[in-house]
Amino acid sequence: MRKTIKGKGFAGAVIVTILVAAFMMLLTGALVVGYFGGDTDGLATAIVFFCAFLYLAVAVGVIAALFQRWKEIRGGEEDEAKKY
């Protein structure tokens, strides 16, 4: 069985969080800029803003999961899956 090294679990979580949040924000920006570059329609605008909201919700959810992981590591729970 692999030995865990204290403090290594958080660095990976931070890297993944930054990558996913940046990707979701990039998608949101591309969606909004691409839509407003052309002719706009009322229903289509609502759909675009709804999709943009979903992308931003994913980014916020990933950041919230990072804070939860940080609390687990600070509480001494290095690997959550060990107890199963």
Each residue of 38-53: b (16+ CB within 10 Å) or e?
eeeeeeeeeebeeebe
Asked if 20 contacts 62 with a C-beta cutoff of 8 angstroms, the reply is yes
What does each of the 84 residues of the chain score in pLDDT, given as a tens digit? 455 555 566 788 889 899 999 999 999 988 888 888 777 788 888 888 899 999 999 999 999 998 988 887 777 766 555 665
| pLDDT tens readout for residues 34-45 | 888 777 788 888
Asked if 74 contacts 4 with a C-beta cutoff of 8 angstroms, the reply is no
As a whole number of angstroms, the distance between CA 67 and CA 55 comes to: 19
As a whole number of angstroms, the distance between CA 43 and CA 33 comes to: 17
